[in-house]
Structure 1
């Protein structure tokens, strides 16, 4: 079986072509990058996606060396995400379905991150930390669904980092979070920030407000550097994430952790989580930006898993929703053994 997947829930538009055994035949994407100090708005992001999606579809088909006739199903991101960008992907998949006469499979963006992470790294049944610009959740599989054991009660950790990057006028190329990570490596003075953990939930809005005020103050006093601010913010929010993940591990009686989502690329977060896992006799499973960052292959692969188990989405129901909970999805494919992901015929072990 072969699937084409379209991802466009935020500022990246991607198209992936994947086989059921996990072989990635193509996975091109394009990112909408705004000037330093600015975020990306839904309307402008949707226009970006509309301008790039068809060339990316053509590039994916060419790279994979397949024709539309060879595609078994078309998968797309139903949600969660930004409304206008999601709509762009939903419209295109409906058009392609009519043109190519192929069935559609709607995919949950969060679940797609998890399934891509599992098949890339070989993680079997880990506690999942899903961290991105729009989501922060601690998840574990139980009784047919991915259950959320903890999450942010306000803004996501990626959104916290992105908004602070705007305060410091840090470049958005390739991403504000990546640039904060590089700047933080030069920090050597830790600034104590609010630490807000409530059970297995976290809150980042108060931390953001506090460090924004410190940043304005340091412009006058020069007491801290930008590197000190980035270092302190990373250390604080990542420590919070490690704490709630460990609490979920104890609750679920699991030893392994899988980190997915754009923020999951952060090496410092991976190092902190790896130390915690090793102390509990477990392993950390993580990947790099090819699979952590939003991409079409994760949508294609997850949709194909559902399609292989008889799941399709009628054309008239191939819509989008900004709020699509991870635990709303019945993961029917978890009842069967997953196959290893291959890239160009070679199993990719991820970063273990």
Structure 2
């Protein structure tokens, strides 16, 4: 039985989680929220993490009822992500590893999402749609790697939604994507937008630029709610299309949606329709596990540790560019 603590801070979510043999004991989080119309920058985000990480760690230990002596392995997000925030969590994790005399494992952020999704939903071998503010990928497992079948060729779908929320000056609390989703529910008039699927890949920057450039004209004919509705319907249709194509290629009967955008109920609804037409099953979780969190890092690190991973302390670095398919998945043999 492995007890692991995980530190996540690749973007504006700071999380500390503790797991024991696949059981979640603590999942604590703080979010850096900026004023309407503004995004989050690396330095300010890192400062937020510095100011809050010790309190969040104490909260995680209190919630779990454990102490540092009960921890078997310290896990942290190695990448991908924003450099300065990643570094804050890595330094804290390295310090804990030294003080507690525990091994340390750097975890791929994307793998953390996938393994947490598999743990929570019990999906066996799904085609994975990973959608967040920083990443958009279609993934399937094969021969000890999570293979990327398709991805965005420019910005992530979450970034596209967040940036349009800034154009409309929507609140960043609890998140701009959530507020886009709520506004879209009131939209009634559909605006035809550029639909950009290129084989197995997607492109969102053109859609965003189109709406940014024409926003003044569009608001004369459409409400902000109409525009949120139109944007969601278009980009989610693109994601459903490439997911179905990947399923057909793999002969898959399961879809697992992970990442912060995976909380969106409209995306889940559209994907569910496609899955039902194919006789497939859809798996998704709620905001506790879709949105970046420390427990997903703890769980993925624990899996690696159980399968024999023992990295050198000198290797506990960070990298802003860390591909999902760079990771050797030693804990799966199916």
Query: Under TM normalisation by the shorter chain, which class is it?
Result: over 0.9
Residue 218 (structure 1) shift: 3.0
SS of 1:39's partner is coil
* Aligned residue in 1 for 2:300: 302
Residue 172 (structure 1) shift: 0.3
* Aligned residue in 1 for 2:254: 256
Provide Cα deviations, 1:230-287, integer angstroms capped at 9, x if missing partner: 0000000000000000000011110110000000000000000000001001000000
Q: List alignment gaps of at least 5 residues for structure 2.
A: none
* Aligned residue in 2 for 1:15: 16
* Aligned residue in 1 for 2:169: 169
1:115-134 → structure 2 map (5 Å cutoff): 115-134=115-134
Provide Cα deviations, 1:26-78, integer angstroms capped at 9, x if missing partner: 11000000000000000000000011001111110111001111100000000
Residue 113 (structure 1) shift: 0.2
Residue 154 (structure 1) shift: 0.3
Whether 1:247 aligns to 2:248 is: no
SS of 1:187's partner is coil
Report the Cα distance in structure 1 between the residues aligned to 2:74 and 2:230, rounded to whole angstroms: 44
SS of 2:208's partner is helix
* Aligned residue in 2 for 1:350: none
Report the Cα distance in structure 2 between the residues aligned to 1:16 and 1:244, rounded to whole angstroms: 33
Provide Cα deviations, 1:133-161, integer angstroms capped at 9, x if missing partner: 00000000000000000000000000000
Residue 335 (structure 1) shift: 2.0
Q: List alignment gaps of at least 5 residues for structure 1.
A: 337-352
Alignment check: 8 A CA contact 1:215 1:229 kept? no
1:1-352 → structure 2 map (5 Å cutoff): 1-20=2-21, 22-219=22-219, 222-335=220-333
Report the Cα distance in structure 2 between the residues aligned to 1:262 and 1:35, rounded to whole angstroms: 20
Alignment check: 8 A CA contact 1:106 1:312 kept? no
Name the TM-score, length of structure 2 as normaliser.
0.99
User: RMSD over aligned Cα, in angstroms?
Assistant: 0.8
Report the Cα distance in structure 1 between the residues aligned to 2:58 and 2:326, rounded to whole angstroms: 33
Provide Cα deviations, 1:96-123, integer angstroms capped at 9, x if missing partner: 1111000001100000100000110010
SS of 1:333's partner is coil
User: How many matched pairs?
Assistant: 333
Q: Which segments of structure 1 move beyond 6 Å, counting only runs of 4 or more?
A: none
Name the TM-score, length of structure 1 as normaliser.
0.94
Report the Cα distance in structure 2 between the residues aligned to 1:100 and 1:51, rounded to whole angstroms: 22
Report the Cα distance in structure 2 between the residues aligned to 1:65 and 1:55, rounded to whole angstroms: 15
SS of 1:335's partner is coil
Report the Cα distance in structure 2 between the residues aligned to 1:273 and 1:263, rounded to whole angstroms: 13
SS of 1:28's partner is strand
Report the Cα distance in structure 2 between the residues aligned to 1:152 and 1:288, rounded to whole angstroms: 24
Report the Cα distance in structure 1 between the residues aligned to 2:166 and 2:279, rounded to whole angstroms: 39
